[in-house]
């Protein structure tokens, strides 16, 4: 088995040796994309209120507010969009900062309606 492994390594090494720096760089990024795609897909499709509260905390929303905001976002069926993404879009739409937007969501959960068109996740 060791000889077979060494032979496969030598074959790959010879193929890579013939590539230019630009081709090696292109191959590196292609392989990196292949490696990261399943991780990115997992991140896109799996979240939880806890993760989303953590995101809001890092965006400067206080702990108590983050609980309420995430609950409002979840009730609107938008948690899959990401609580941070929801607040950023809403902040851009209203012209408020993130904390002000979080407070606005707490004050009026209806402002989330139609933020992503008719689409809900």
Instruction: Let me know if residue 120 belongs to a domain.
Output: no
Question: Quick one: pLDDT at residue 72?
Answer: 95
Phi, psi (rounded to 5 degrees) for 33:
-60, -45
Q: What is the pLDDT of residues 73-86, one digit of tens each?
A: 999 989 988 999 99
**Where in the sequence is the domain holding 94, given as residue range(s)?**
49-115
Q: How far apart are the first and last CA of the chain?
A: 49
Query: Helices marked H in 18-110 — which ranges?
Result: 21-45, 49-58, 63-75, 83-94, 98-107
Domain with residue 58: its CATH number is 1.10.8.1000
Residue 21 shares a structural domain with residue 64: no
Report the number of distinct structural domains present in the chain.
2
CB-based contacts of 110, cutoff 8 Å, min separation 6: none
Phi, psi (rounded to 5 degrees) for 117:
75, -145
Q: What is the pLDDT of residues 84-101, one digit of tens each?
A: 999 999 999 999 999 999
pTM recorded for the entire structure: 0.62
Instruction: Let me know if residue 81 belongs to a domain.
Output: yes
């Amino acid at each position: 088995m060791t000889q077979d492994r060494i032979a496969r390594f030598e074959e790959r090494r010879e193929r890579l040796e013939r590539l230019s720096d630009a081709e090696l760089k292109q191959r590196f990024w292609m392989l990196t994309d292949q490696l990261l795609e399943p991780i990115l897909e997992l991140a896109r499709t799996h979240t939880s209120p806890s993760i989303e509260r953590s995101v809001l905390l890092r965006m400067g929303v206080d702990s108590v507010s983050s609980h309420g905001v995430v609950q409002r976002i979840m009730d609107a069926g938008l948690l899959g969009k990401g609580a941070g993404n929801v607040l950023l879009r809403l902040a851009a739409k209203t012209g408020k900062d993130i904390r002000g937007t979080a407070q606005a969501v707490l004050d009026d959960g209806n402002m989330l309606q139609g933020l992503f068109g008719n689409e809900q996740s």
